[in-house]
Amino acid sequence: MAKLIDILAIEQDRKDPEKWAVIHLFKSGGFYSAYEWSAWLTAVVSYNGETRMQSKDRQPLAVIRNTIATLEGQTFCKVGFPLKSVEKFIPARTTFHPVDDNYITITIPLPQPTDGSEITFERLEKAFTEWKESQPIKSSKEAVSSKKNSSSGTSAHVGIIAQIMTYPLNDRTASENIQFISSLQHQIAAIL
């Protein structure tokens, strides 16, 4: 998988109109992950009841907002879903573009403003920033725990625990719960 610093550089390069509606998905184990602008596009913009599998009852994706260990005070947002569920979370009428075995891009249609005005980078950037700022950051207790033991394993453990604690078990189907457990197994296997 690409390094976080490289992924964030891709996500910050959004000024050109042809990049506004592109979701970058990175494969890690049995999951696809989207970061920052791509996470927003996946979690909010593409969540329009018109997914490829016609899953209008799709549950919202859990958003994880973490601090960046190497950049004091800066944060990033991330969403993820099992590889097998890509059809469930990406809207119809989109095009998949494989970049390599662990990275694909998907261009989605952007909704048109209801006031008849044009879509602008400034409007999109404002909507993304407001969404990001509305996401809770990992608790300071988790952040302190991660700093005390700076190994990547501890950070990964905290991330797995956060996923478990925020997972809406009772709101998901048995199949979705099994996929979630399978994804946790892959993540744990990757750090052992």
List pLDDT tens digits, range 162-187: 678 677 777 777 877 787 787 777 66
Domain ranges within the chain, ordered by starting residue: 4-138
List pLDDT tens digits, range 128-174: 999 899 888 864 444 444 434 444 445 556 667 767 867 777 777 78
What is the model's pLDDT at position 121?
A: 93
Beta-sheet strand order (sheet of 103-107):
64-67, 75-82, 31-35, 22-28, 103-107, 95-100
What is the model's pLDDT at position 162?
A: 67
What is the model's pLDDT at position 87?
A: 74
Query: Mean pLDDT over residues 62-81, rounded?
Result: 82
Please list, in sequence order, all residues whose beta carbon lies within 8 angstroms of the beta carbon of residue 184, skipping any fewer than 6 positions away: 160, 163, 164
Lowest-pLDDT range, 31-35, 98-102, 135-139? Answer: 135-139
Predicted TM-score (pTM) of this structure: 0.67
Amino acid at 146: S
